C-alpha cells in the first residue's frame, strides 16, 4: 500500500507476473519481466524502451505544458505535480531510461490516450494528443505504435522486457467516472491547491 492507502502492486493470475499500476502524474521504469498498467481517458501515456538494453518505462500525464518556475516553487508541497504535465513527464521518463543504460538514438516509443471522454467538455484529450505528436516529431524520437484521440478510455498493459503493449477500451459505463476524476485533477492543478483525497479508479 502507498501512504494514501492505494494498492499499486498486484499479481497477474494468468502469468504470475507482478502488475505495477501507474497513476496520474507518475512514471515507472523497469527492465524485468513485469507488467506496467494504467487507465487513460483524456490523459496520455508514452511507453518508451531501448530494445538493446530492454530498459523501458511508462508515464501518465494530464496536461501538455507546465511552468518550470511555478512548479519548482511547489515541489516541497506536491512533488508529483510537475510530471502531470507532458513536457516534464516526457523529460523525466527519457532521462530515467538513459540513466539505466538506454541510448536516446535507439529509443522506441508507443503512445496512447487523448480521448475526448467528457461529453460537452473541453477537448483536453485532443490537445494532449497534438502535444505528444509534436513533441515526438520535434525530438526526433522513433514512434513504432500509437492509439490516440477517439472517445473511449483505454486500459494499457505494458511489458517493458519485451516492449509489448496490450490495449483495450474501457466499458463505456465507466467513461464518465474516469473523465470526472481527470477533470477534478486538472481543476486542482489550475487552482494550485493541494490534491487532497481523490478517489483513484481501479
The catalytic residue positions are 43
Which of 123, 104, 105 minimizes the C-alpha distance to 114? 123
For helices 124-139 and 86-99, the axis angle rounded to 10 degrees is: 40
Residue count (the chain):
202
Round to whole Å and give the CA distance between 86 and 135. 9
Q: Going by DSSP bridges, is the β-strand pair 9-11/108-113 parallel, antiparallel, or unpaired?
A: unpaired
Round to whole Å and give the CA distance between 140 and 105. 9
Residue 127, class by beta-carbon neighbours within 10 Å (0-12 exposed, 13-18 middle, 19+ buried)? middle
Which of 116, 138, 119, 139 minimizes the C-alpha distance to 128? 116
Amino acid at each position: 500500500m502507498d501512504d494514501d492507502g492505494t494498492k499499486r502492486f498486484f499479481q497477474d493470475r494468468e502469468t504470475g507476473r507482478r502488475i505495477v499500476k501507474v497513476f496520474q502524474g507518475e512514471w515507472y521504469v523497469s527492465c524485468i519481466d513485469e507488467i506496467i498498467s494504467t487507465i487513460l481517458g483524456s490523459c496520455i501515456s508514452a511507453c518508451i524502451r531501448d530494445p538493446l538494453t530492454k530498459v523501458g518505462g511508462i508515464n501518465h500525464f494530464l496536461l501538455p505544458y507546465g511552468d518550470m518556475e511555478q512548479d519548482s516553487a511547489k515541489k516541497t508541497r506536491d512533488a508529483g505535480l510537475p510530471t502531470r504535465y507532458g513536457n516534464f513527464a516526457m523529460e523525466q521518463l527519457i532521462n530515467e531510461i538513459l540513466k539505466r543504460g538506454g541510448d536516446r538514438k535507439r529509443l522506441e516509443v508507443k503512445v496512447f490516450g487523448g480521448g475526448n471522454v467528457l461529453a460537452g467538455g473541453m477537448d483536453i484529450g485532443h490537445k494532449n494528443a497534438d502535444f505528444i505528436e509534436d513533441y515526438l516529431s520535434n525530438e526526433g524520437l522513433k514512434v513504432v505504435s500509437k492509439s490516440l484521440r477517439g472517445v473511449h478510455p483505454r486500459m494499457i498493459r505494458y511489458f517493458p522486457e519485451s516492449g509489448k503493449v496490450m490495449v483495450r477500451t474501457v466499458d463505456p459505463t465507466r467513461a464518465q467516472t474516469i473523465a470526472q476524476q481527470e477533470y477534478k485533477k486538472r481543476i486542482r492543478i489550475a487552482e494550485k491547491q493541494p490534491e487532497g483525497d481523490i478517489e483513484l479508479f481501479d
